[in-house]
A and B are shown apart, each in its own frame.
Chain A
């Protein structure tokens, strides 16, 4: 399965997907609404990209970007990176937990570090940080109010006690 075939396949499924091949691996930028559908398609035959080895989020100050690194378990040299941009003030996206079980912990980490709400996640609450800051409900508005300003990996996070400016 080459990059060209994967590109053709994704284009057939999602005509508005944007490709970027400047990096080491094929990057695909998709709309956040259509991400879940694309993931389910890539997981199954004939692509069989069934190994999610990295899930993270990047804060670009104007928006957040979810980054999914996918690979095929039978041929780990096929790697593709799927990205989707989220609104920084109200970030939410569908969970991929039901496709890959590993996403459960990874999404919990992104949730507490970046404040991204994963809709329909089975157990969305803090994993690493203290529990007091965690309010996990499907209603994202309540969540934003409760947790306002406490997302450590966002670029504008300030903590004068624990962070030393170099």
Chain B
């Protein structure tokens, strides 16, 4: 015990008496979903963070074991709902790999454009929500203005705004909307004009900078050890972009830079995502005028049967590396399916990087990890 009148200078050794356990979530506004963190505090200093998962666990892996290769794609849209096109692409690519289905060029290019639009939409939502976690309300509306244009394009293309289910084994479910190209070009024009507004509002903001710089620092060695991927790892200087490492769809014919920062703090993760949006625009610009004519879906059998064996497909979602691992016994359903979700590994690093920081900084650290809870729980 300590004396009531003494001022405690060294707060590191208060002992169990000075510790306070706070439940953050499962219904906390800054966790963006049902994430439950048990935070052990000593004063305002974080001693330990223990994530409790499972509030939105639907056992997607088990569910997929009884679904056919045409059906299981619909479930994956519900995993990481902010990048459902990319999840669908991963599953479609895996089935195509397992059955050696030829995908028409038109489908490949449209998939790439849609994937990049999804990435921008996801980062837009992230910027808005992240700024709101730190107390800035306006960027949310600015970000959603552009995001709305993307969701409108998605709605025209496939009828859905969030869970698309548009990419199927062999290509696309339908052909694109006749006004697809016009609308995407209008979006690119608006985005390029308005992206400076984010820079003025958020990036150049002194409060934002001082709340994120030097907060939640992740070193490159730890990023590798914790299996981090996506913008979280790239902000620590680890090159891990699957679009560069193992190009799929039309990524091998477009030019773009892998954004890498070395600081590893929350601000670096923010910068990586902003720059990544510009790179996505660059990819879309190269492809939007060059969508080849022709079929939008390849010839497939009605009943899909994967060859016996094991298949692994990785793609780069907005959050990092999504891996789909299927063990097939040759039937119409997978024997075992495993989703290596990027959020799961990125969450595991939270305890390590938020330890010994203040509880106010936890919001900045957790926000920049960009956690989507259904992706973690599956």
Contact = CB atoms under 8 A, between A and B. Distances in A.
Contact of A73 (B54, B97, B238, B377): B238
A54 B338 contact: yes
B236 to A, nearest CB: 11
A166 B336 contact: no
Given A53-B227, A54-B325, A102 B246 contact: no
Contact of B62 (A50, A104, A152): A152
Interface string A83-114: 00000000000000000111011100000000
A3 B238 CA distance: 23
Contacts of B340: 53-54, 56, 69
B54 A69 contact: no
Interface residues of A, number: 35
Contacts of B242: 76
Give 9 closest A-B pairs by Cβ, nearest first: A102-B227, A128-B54, A105-B348, A56-B338, A54-B340, A76-B245, A73-B224, A101-B225, A58-B336
B327 A58 contact: yes
Nearest to B376: A128
B310 interface: yes
A127 B225 contact: no
Interface string B238-259: 1010100110000000000000
B53 A100 contact: no
Interface in A117-166: 127-130, 152-153, 157, 163, 165-166
Contacts of B67: 166
A51 B228 CA distance: 9
Contacts of A127: 53-54
A2 interface: no
B275 interface: no
Given A69-B340, A73-B240, A76-B246, 12 more contacts: A22-B309, A24-B97, A51-B227, A53-B229, A53-B340, A76-B245, A77-B245, A101-B225, A102-B348, A130-B54, A153-B61, A166-B66
B352 interface: yes
Interface in A15-60: 22-25, 27, 50-54, 56, 58-59
Given A56-B325, A58-B327, A165 B348 contact: no
Contacts of B310: 23, 27, 81
B54 A129 contact: yes
B378 to A, nearest CB: 8
